[in-house]
């Protein structure tokens, strides 16, 4: 169905042509939930860019060795997605993570997500959609290109099995992510009446020194942080939300 509206895209000022789900519905296959949806142009609809499937596959495949320790919801999500791994084998590649890990460290294979499924940008877009849903406008003051997006569970690599083990261990961003966990975070918002299953996805945010921080948690495992400066109006809306929760 063509989406007809005068609304602008949640991420840019182009006219919207479709609806973006934040996060994508693929995460919640088989669950009862109320989606957060925002107007989107074709370029910023993550479903159309094909990134969603690769990212869901990549995150879930890397959980396979740990499923026994995970909740029933996460196990169900894995089982429902398992059949699609074959379609994403070129974009979410199961492989050893490091090119030079010491032999005595026995590490499971993880998933290499190809740069085409740009997870850093994808997380920024998710953040933008969540903000749009609350403020009802896309904030032109936010420069998403220079916004920071990082995860202690992710390391950029030029190809599969090409992460430098020692560099990964020393990554200062990982330290930063851990220190961010020490701050007090406010619970993110949900759509009514069902919200998202928290074992699959939830987020927190905080406002500090005019900077906004988001902490996304996927599959009760992966944390992704995004930080950026926003317009005074956006900061005010989020600060009010922060205080009321
Ligand atoms: Zn757009």
Termini Cα distance of the chain: 37
What is the Å distance from ligand 1's center to 224 Cα? 22
User: Residue 167: what pLDDT?
Assistant: 78
What is the Å distance from ligand 1's center to 3 Cα? 14
What is the Å distance from ligand 1's center to 158 Cα? 27
What is the Å distance from ligand 1's center to 17 Cα? 9
- Contact by Cβ (8 Å): 157, 92: no
What is the Å distance from ligand 1's center to 126 Cα? 12
What is the Å distance from ligand 1's center to 138 Cα? 10
Predicted TM-score (pTM) above 0.75: yes
What is the Å distance from ligand 1's center to 202 Cα? 24
Kindly give the confidence (pLDDT) of every residue in the chain, 245 residues in length, as a single tens digit, with 9 standing for 90 and above: 455 567 899 999 899 999 999 999 999 999 999 999 999 999 999 877 779 999 999 999 999 989 999 999 999 999 999 999 999 888 888 888 788 888 887 777 788 888 888 999 999 999 999 999 999 989 999 999 999 999 888 888 888 878 888 877 777 667 676 667 778 899 999 999 999 999 999 999 999 888 999 999 999 999 999 999 999 999 999 988 876 65
What is the Å distance from ligand 1's center to 10 Cα? 6
CA-to-CA distance for 95 and 162, rounded, in angstroms? 10
User: Residue 68: what pLDDT?
Assistant: 95
């Amino acid at each position: 169905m063509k989406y007809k509206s005068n609304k602008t895209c949640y991420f840019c000022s182009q006219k919207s042509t479709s609806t973006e789900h934040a996060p994508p519905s693929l995460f919640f296959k088989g669950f009862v939930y109320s989606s957060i949806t925002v107007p989107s142009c074709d370029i910023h609809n993550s479903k159309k860019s094909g990134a969603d499937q690769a990212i869901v596959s990549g995150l879930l495949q890397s959980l396979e060795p740990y499923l026994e320790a995970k909740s029933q919801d996460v196990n169900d999500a894995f089982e429902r997605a398992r059949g699609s791994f074959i379609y994403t084998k070129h974009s979410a590649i199961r492989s050893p993570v490091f090119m030079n890990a010491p032999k005595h460290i026995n590490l499971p294979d993880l998933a290499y997500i190809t740069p085409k499924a740009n997870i850093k940008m994808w997380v920024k877009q998710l953040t933008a959609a969540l903000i749009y849903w609350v403020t009802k406008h896309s904030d032109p003051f936010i420069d998403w290109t220079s916004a920071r997006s990082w995860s202690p569970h992710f390391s950029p690599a030029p190809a599969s099995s090409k992460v430098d083990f020692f560099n990964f261990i020393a990554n200062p961003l990982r330290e930063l992510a851990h220190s961010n966990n020490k701050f007090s975070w406010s619970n993110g918002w949900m759509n009514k009446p069902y919200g998202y299953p928290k074992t699959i996805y939830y987020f927190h945010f905080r406002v500090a020194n005019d900077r906004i921080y988001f902490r996304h948690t996927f599959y009760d495992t992966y944390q992704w942080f995004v930080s950026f400066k926003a317009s005074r109006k956006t900061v005010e809306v989020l600060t009010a939300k922060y205080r009321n929760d």
